[in-house]
Amino acid sequence: MKLEIHNQVISFINSQSPKVQAKIVRSIDLLEKFGLRLTYPHLKKLKNVALWELRIIFGSNIFRILINFQPNQLNLVHTFQKKSKKTPLKEIKTALMRIRKLL
């Protein structure tokens, strides 16, 4: 499966500590290997949108990568540090805007 990573995702990962980077890269590797077969707690479908959430927990920090699945392609379009229980609408809108630019 082809993996497309948006520049914002790469910048976000690079801005983290080496240990956090390693955890994020490991999660992306699992996603690439298993695709939609990767299940909760790693991967969760967001309701009412064509987005999935790759969930990364490192200590008290919670990171999310929003993903769009296309046939034979994974698009990692947005990353953020989660601070509330629900995924903020602002983050979902940003991801959807980036998907529209890709397609």
What is the CATH classification number for the domain harbouring 94?
A: 3.30.2310.20
Helix or strand or coil: residue 47? coil
Q: What is residue 87's DSSP assignment?
A: P
Which tokens hold the place of 68? 């769009």
Query: Is pLDDT at 102 greater than 90 in this prediction?
Result: no
> Containing domain of residue 43, as a range?
2-102
- 12-63 confidence digits (pLDDT tens): 999 999 999 999 999 999 999 998 899 889 999 999 999 999 999 999 999 9
**Structural domain count of the chain:** 1
**The whole model's pTM is what?**
0.92
| 75 residue type, one letter | N
Single out the residue of 47, 51, 48 nearest to residue 98, CA to CA. 51
Query: Is pLDDT at 103 greater than 90 in this prediction?
Result: no
